[in-house]
């Protein structure tokens, strides 16, 4: 089956999350093929993991002051500040014969496609393989903050040990949804500013930790890199690397209608975004 590739452009947080879920629902129903989507965010937004506690982990007042939206994802994990980045999402059925069955193996499979796009841009990135003191790979890490980018997880993408791409996955209605942030630029200060911390000393510690543990495409390349350049590189290399044919497409009318419904009923509502 040919995978559909979408570029839905730069949108607000509610629309971005609504489109991801609309594609998942359409693919589960058999209405659309597997889909690789690229998008961006305006205004900046914090996305919360599905199980994350909003009021105890995010400074909602500071987000409002800075004009930063807050939205809850379908996927798990921790908070991500979306601003200057290329975001990707993948929607494909769990029983697709090409997709490894376990979550860790599917992360590795999809990461290969992202790595190929980065390599086309001259970036030598790797998949992280966190290890215990005994040298064994561990499936889950113990993180020190509410932020996704404070440490790499299994098979996430790093450059010289610093996290460049953060991803999250959910499996729902027989379908995998994975989405992730490829950082074009990164501000440790801005991310730390929207997290709830116990003291100014703790915030400064977090800024130092993020500054040393996270990188961006602009920092790696030493020059400004556009959203479009990054999109084109990943779009060109992703399909061939994971062994699928791709074709540019667009959202169906039903997906657009479903997205609009989800914005109104879910992703613009505090009942969902501040659920926990």
User: Rounded to an integer, what distance in angstroms lies between the CA atom of residue 18 and that of residue 16?
Assistant: 6
For every residue of 190-245, DSSP letters joined together read HHHHTB--S-HHHHHHHHHHHHHHB--HHHHHTS---HHHHHHHHHHHHHHHHT--
CB 164 within 8 A of CB 182: yes
- Residue 148 designated active-site: yes
Contact between 34 and 67 under an 8 Å Cβ cutoff? The reply is no
Handedness of CA 14, 165, 187, 37 (dihedral sign): negative
Instruction: Residue 53: name the closest of 146, 144, 145 by CA.
Output: 146
Distance (Å, rounded) from C-alpha 140 to C-alpha 75?
16
Q: How many helices (H) and strands (E) does the chain have?
A: 10, 11
- Which residues are catalytically annotated? 148
């Amino acid at each position: 089956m040919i995978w559909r590739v979408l570029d839905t452009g730069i949108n607000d947080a509610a629309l971005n999350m609504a489109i991801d879920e609309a594609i998942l629902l359409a693919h589960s129903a058999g209405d659309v093929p597997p889909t690789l989507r690229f998008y961006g965010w305006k205004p900046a937004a914090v996305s919360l993991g599905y199980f994350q506690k909003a009021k105890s982990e995010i400074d909602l007042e500071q987000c409002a002051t800075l004009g930063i939206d807050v939205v809850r994802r379908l996927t798990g994990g921790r908070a991500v500040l979306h601003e200057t980045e290329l975001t990707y999402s993948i929607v494909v059925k769990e029983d697709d014969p090409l997709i490894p069955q376990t979550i860790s193996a599917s992360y590795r499979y999809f990461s290969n496609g992202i790595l190929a796009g980065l390599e086309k841009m001259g970036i030598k990135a790797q998949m992280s393989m966190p290890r215990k003191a005994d040298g064994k790979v561990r499936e889950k890490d113990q993180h020190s903050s509410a932020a996704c980018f404070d440490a790499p997880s299994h098979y996430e993408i790093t450059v010289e040990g610093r996290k460049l791409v953060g991803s999250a996955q959910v499996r729902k209605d027989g379908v995998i949804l994975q989405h992730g942030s490829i950082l074009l630029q990164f501000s440790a200060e801005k991310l730390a500013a929207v997290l709830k911390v116990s003291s100014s000393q703790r915030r400064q510690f977090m800024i130092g930790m993020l500054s040393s543990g996270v990188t961006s495409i602009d920092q790696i390349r030493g020059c400004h890199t556009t959203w479009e350049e990054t999109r084109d590189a990943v779009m060109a290399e992703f399909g061939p690397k994971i062994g699928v044919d791709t074709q540019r497409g667009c959202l169906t009318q039903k997906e657009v209608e479903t997205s609009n419904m989800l914005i109104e009923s879910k992703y613009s509502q505090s009942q969902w975004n501040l659920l926990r």
